């Protein structure tokens, strides 16, 4: 049981690290709060809230995986290497894709309500 509880402490430590050390985490948090505010203001339905929350989670998860990969690449390859750059660039592109599609979904949900 202690082992399982300790696993949660590691996850919360990861969240603290993510928000303390990653500028984009703070940026995504502001965007998520903005989306939540728009959802409340425009009266999003339960289904719309589910879609919005999935999009928010997707962007945060992509950014967390991107940050994790950057930490690992920096650990494994202190010097610049073309493959390290490719790994970081592709991970950053995953975040970009998640964000772009999330904005599209938010537009589909919010524009008709304006």
Q: Read off the CATH number of the domain in which 36 is found.
A: 1.10.287.3610
Catalytic residues: 63
HSE-CB for 101 with a 13 A CA cutoff: 12
Residue 75: predicted pLDDT: 94
Q: Does 65 map to a domain? A: yes
Give counts: helices (H), strands (E), the chain.
4, 0
Q: pTM of the predicted model, to two decimals?
A: 0.92
Phi, psi of 99 (to 5 degrees): -70, -45
Residue 7: predicted pLDDT: 86
Which residues span the domain enclosing 75? 23-113
Q: Which two tokens stand for residue 8?
A: 């949660």
Residue 68: predicted pLDDT: 97
Residue 63: predicted pLDDT: 98
Number of domains observed in the structure of the chain: 1
Residue 3: predicted pLDDT: 82
pLDDT string in tens for the chain (114-residue length): 888 888 899 999 999 999 999 999 999 999 999 999 999 999 999 999 999 999 999 999 999 999 999 999 999 988 889 999 999 999 999 999 999 999 999 999 999 999
10 Å CB burial of residue 16 (0-12, 13-18, 19+) is: exposed
Q: Does 2 map to a domain? A: no
Residue 86: predicted pLDDT: 96
């Amino acid at each position: 049981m202690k082992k399982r509880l300790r696993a949660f402490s590691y996850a919360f430590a990861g969240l603290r690290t993510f928000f303390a050390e990653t500028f984009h985490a703070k940026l995504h948090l502001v965007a998520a709060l903005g989306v939540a505010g728009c959802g409340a203001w425009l009266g999003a339905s339960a289904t719309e809230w589910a879609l919005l929350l999935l999009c928010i989670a997707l962007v945060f998860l992509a950014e967390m995986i991107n940050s994790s990969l950057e930490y690992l690449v920096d650990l494994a390859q202190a010097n610049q290497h073309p493959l390290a750059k490719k790994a970081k660039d592709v991970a950053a592109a995953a975040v970009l894709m998640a964000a772009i599609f999330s904005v599209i979904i938010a537009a589909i949900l919010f524009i008709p309500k304006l």
